[in-house]
Amino acid sequence: MEQVNDDTLAAARKVIAVHINYPSRAAQRGRTPAQPSYFLKPSSSLSLTGTAVERPAGCELLGFEGEIAIIIGKAARRVEVDDAWGHVAAVTASNDLGVYDLRYADKGSNLRSKGGDGFTPVGPALIAADAVDPANLRIRTWHNGELVQDDTTEDLLFPFARLVADLSQLLTLEEGDIILTGTPAGASVAVPGDLLEVEVSTADGQLSTGRLTTTVKEGTTAFADFGARPKADDLQREEAYGSREAAGLPATQSALSPELKAKLESVCTATLSSQLRKRGLNNVSIDGLTATRPDRKVVGLARTLRYVPNREDLFKTHGGGFNAQKRAIDSVNEGEILVMEARGEKGTGTIGDILALRAQVRGAAAIITDGGVRDFSAVAAMELPTYYSNPHPAVLGRRHIPWDTDITIACGGTTVQPGDIIVADSDGILVIPPALAEDVANDSIAQEREEVFIAEMVQQGHSVDGLYPLNAEWRTRYEEWEAGKAND
């Protein structure tokens, strides 16, 4: 098997890297791109297996990302997806290294953060492109002997042929150019003394690049004061390590704390609605929907998905593959509620049993759509509450294009933003601005306590005149009643 050597590196006039391509990485990052995006790494960043990479002096966060590198074998300009793989000569292993301490410096181009000398090791062996199925490769990364990345190319957001075809629409991919195809979840941070290993193989293990090895050493030359200097914050630490927990950082406070969630669960939407009305919010209910589990009280944070009316040419580009609908379902987190804008369109489904099951497995608190539901019996039988306009057997594409996620939408006659607090019960569905939620919950609890007293007085035969709502006399009696309950 041919080995990557100095001639391989010298032939690479361009090194192009893809930002996000594996669903596992997209879920970790909390964002799934609709189209591929790229950045350039200088060819001087290339290095061979067995070399040492320097963590620059003053830098804390040298990130590693095991990747599959594809090497162009024949110039490609405006090629079609079906022809693109024929322009690839080989695949090999790579490690897309970079210092998060300098990400701020170049506004997304990654030039300094990812372009350092030796920051793109490749090798050790080349696997001929015509000997493999590009959708049947495996990528693994070891950090000091521990397997930290292990994924396959079976369900990439953007298959390799699409990357080649896409890039070739604007620029010529030349023989020897290298494309780094994205990293799966598990990328993290290395420190001086660490050993990094990356291997690409066929899924059955019959063909392999062998392990690309890179050691990390500490840089000794400080950055000059006439350019950007390294700096790290907790956001970069979280990004570099993959999570706040992995970075040793305290968990961020959610807009919906367990205490606030318990308060909202303890009161009915009718009470919450009256408190929102007192604050001038009259248009915060999602109307006209039916629940598969009307017995359930649901409280959660909104994630949003927008459908636009079907237009055949646009459905071709946005309807297939890992589209916005699937991205939304596959990234919804535990306790979140997926809210869909379907324009009240009743002539097709917007969710079916498989995707609803996926949302349930991921821990979603509910699904809300102002459109139809397919596979209704199966969806209705799930534990996951679904709020819907009507059952309908037709597939999504009859009326809709899944267009975008995590944006401001309209659903059931009101506006919903990502991060809004949704509360639903048998009375209806409310959207509560997070900034108001604590006060609304506290005042709702107090209101319902008053209503318990009022109900007792009515039960004893008192007229509602002056009692509901409480006048000054009755409020004094309520406060005495409340004090007596507190002393019981």
- Token reading at 43: 């060819």
Buried b (16+ CB within 10 A) or exposed e, 431-464: bbbbebbeebbebbeebeebeebbeebeeeeeee
The reply, when asked if residue 58 is annotated as ligand binding, is no
Q: Identify residue 69 by its one-letter amino acid code.
A: A
Q: Strands (DSSP E) along 252-365, which ranges? A: 285-286, 290-291, 298-309, 336-341, 349-351
Q: Identify residue 204 by its one-letter amino acid code.
A: D
The reply, when asked if residue 352 is annotated as ligand binding, is yes
Dihedral Cα 318, 321, 324, 329, nearest 10 deg: 160
The reply, when asked if residue 319 is annotated as ligand binding, is no
CA distance 403 to 419: 19
What's the Cα-to-Cα distance from 130 to each of 79, 127, 210, 225, rounded to whole Å?
18, 9, 18, 50
- Token reading at 131: 């000997």
What ranges in 312-471 are assigned the alpha helix state H? 312-318, 324-331, 353-361, 376-380, 434-459
How, if at all, do strands 366-369 and 386-388 pair? parallel
The reply, when asked if residue 171 is annotated as ligand binding, is no
CA distance 264 to 279: 17
What's the Cα-to-Cα distance from 221 to each of 55, 57, 58, 110, 383, rounded to whole Å?
10, 6, 9, 21, 59
Binding residues for Mg(2+): 375
Binding residues for substrate: 352-355, 374
Binding residues: 352-355, 374-375
